[in-house]
Amino acid sequence: MISVTMGRTTALGAVMLSLLAVPAQASDAPHTIPAARAAAPAPDVTALRQALRAALAAGAPGAMARVDDGGTVHKAAEGIADRGAGRAITADDRFRVGSVTKTFSAAVLLQLVDEGALGLDDRVDDHLPGLLPDRRTTVRHVLSHRSGLYDYTNDLFARTVPGFEAVRNKVFGYQELMDLSLAKPPTVAPGGSYAYSNTNFVVAGMLIEKLTGNPVGDEYRDRIFTPLNLRDTFYVHPGTAVPGVHARGYLTPDEAGAALVDSTRQTASWAQSAGAIISTTRDLNTFLAALLGGELTSAARLAEMRRWVPVNSTQAYGLGLRRRDLSCGVSVYGHNGTVQGYYTSSFTSGDGRRSVTAVANTSNNSAVLNTLPRALEAVFCGSAAAARAAVPAEREDIAPDVVRD
Tell me, what CATH number does 154's domain have? 3.40.710.10
Q: For residue 17, is it within any domain?
A: no
Position 364: which residue type?
A: N
Residue 48, SS3 per DSSP: helix
Question: What pLDDT is stored for residue 388 in this prediction?
Answer: 52
Q: For residue 21, is it within any domain?
A: no
Residue 313's CB: how many other CB atoms inside 10 A? 7
Q: For residue 37, is it within any domain?
A: no
Do 121 and 307 contact (CB within 8 A), yes or no?
no
Mean pLDDT value across residues 80-88: 98
Q: For residue 310, is it within any domain?
A: yes
Q: For residue 309, is it within any domain?
A: yes
pLDDT at residue 30 is higher than 60: no
Mean pLDDT value across residues 219-229: 98
pLDDT at residue 287 is higher than 80: yes
pLDDT at residue 21 is higher than 80: no
Question: What pLDDT is stored for residue 71 in this prediction?
Answer: 81
The residue annotated as part of the active site, out of 3, 18, 27, 99, is 99
Mean pLDDT value across residues 205-209: 99
Mean pLDDT value across residues 327-337: 94
Question: What pLDDT is stored for residue 39 in this prediction?
Answer: 59
Give the whole-angstrom CA distance, residue 273 versus residue 38. 37
Give the whole-angstrom CA distance, residue 304 versus residue 8. 46
- At a CB cut-off of 8 Å and minimum separation 6, what does 326 contact? 314, 332, 376, 377, 380, 381, 385, 389
CA distances from residue 231 to 75, 216, 228 in whole angstroms, order as listed: 18, 18, 9
CA distances from residue 214 to 144, 205, 208, 397 in whole angstroms, order as listed: 24, 11, 8, 27
Residue 134, SS3 per DSSP: coil
Q: For residue 86, is it within any domain?
A: yes
The parent domain of residue 352 ranges over 45-387
355 given a catalytic annotation: no
Q: For residue 78, is it within any domain?
A: yes
Q: For residue 82, is it within any domain?
A: yes
Give the whole-angstrom CA distance, residue 275 versus residue 315. 20
pLDDT range class, residue 216, cuts 50, 70, 90: very high
Structural domains of the chain, count: 1
Which residues, listed in sequence order, are joined to residue 203 by a DSSP beta bridge? none
pLDDT at residue 393 is higher than 90: no
Question: What pLDDT is stored for residue 14 in this prediction?
Answer: 35
Helical ranges in 92-198 per DSSP H = 101-114, 124-127, 139-143, 153-156, 160-167, 174-182
pLDDT range class, residue 207, cuts 50, 70, 90: very high
Dihedral sign from CA coordinates of 179, 184, 188, 189: positive
pLDDT at residue 36 is higher than 50: no
Angle between helices 199-212 and 101-114 (to 10 degrees): 40
